[in-house]
């Protein structure tokens, strides 16, 4: 799910998930690439920032996000960290 937070402003990616029987087949990477391509068209607003939250212990997801160019912002909420990317730097 992609939402646009007009207050910051930024694009937020929510609920990134693949069915457990289909994980590890490259769909997550492909889906995230397509989501970032979509966001890069700036469908809701002109922000260049994309952000998401990731469980602190979710190493599979965290590595995937890091390979796509996301990095931890330092912001945390309970067991989740915030990660963000500048769209023009999307790998």
Ligand X SMILES: CC(C)(COP(=O)(O)OP(=O)(O)OC[C@H]1O[C@@H](n2cnc3c(N)ncnc32)[C@H](O)[C@@H]1OP(=O)(O)O)[C@@H](O)C(=O)NCCC(=O)NCCS
Residues of this chain that bind ligand X (CB under 6 A): 16-18, 23-29, 54, 58, 60-61, 64
Non-local (6+) Cβ contacts of 65 within 8 A are 32, 52, 54, 83
Least distance (Å) between residue 90 CB and ligand X:
16
Residue closer to ligand X by CB (options 27, 38) is 27
CB of 77 to ligand X, least distance (A): 13
Residues 6+ apart with CB under 8 A from 32: 13, 16, 64, 65, 68
* Nearest residue (CB) to ligand X, 26 versus 45: 26
| Minimal distance, residue 37 CB to ligand X, in Å | 15
Q: Which residue is nearest to ligand X (CB)?
A: 28
Q: Please, which residue, 60 or 75, has the CB nearer to ligand X?
A: 60
Question: Helices 27-40 and 59-67: crossing angle, nearest 10°?
Answer: 50
């Amino acid at each position: 799910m992609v939402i646009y937070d007009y207050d910051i402003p930024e694009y937020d990616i929510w609920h990134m998930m693949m069915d457990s029987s289909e994980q590890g087949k490259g769909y997550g990477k492909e889906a995230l690439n397509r989501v970032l391509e979509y966001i890069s068209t700036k469908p809701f607003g002109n922000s260049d920032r994309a952000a998401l939250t990731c469980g602190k212990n979710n190493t599979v997801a965290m590595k995937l996000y890091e390979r796509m160019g996301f990095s931890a912002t330092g912001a945390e909420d309970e067991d989740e960290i915030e990660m963000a990317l500048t769209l023009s730097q999307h790998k």
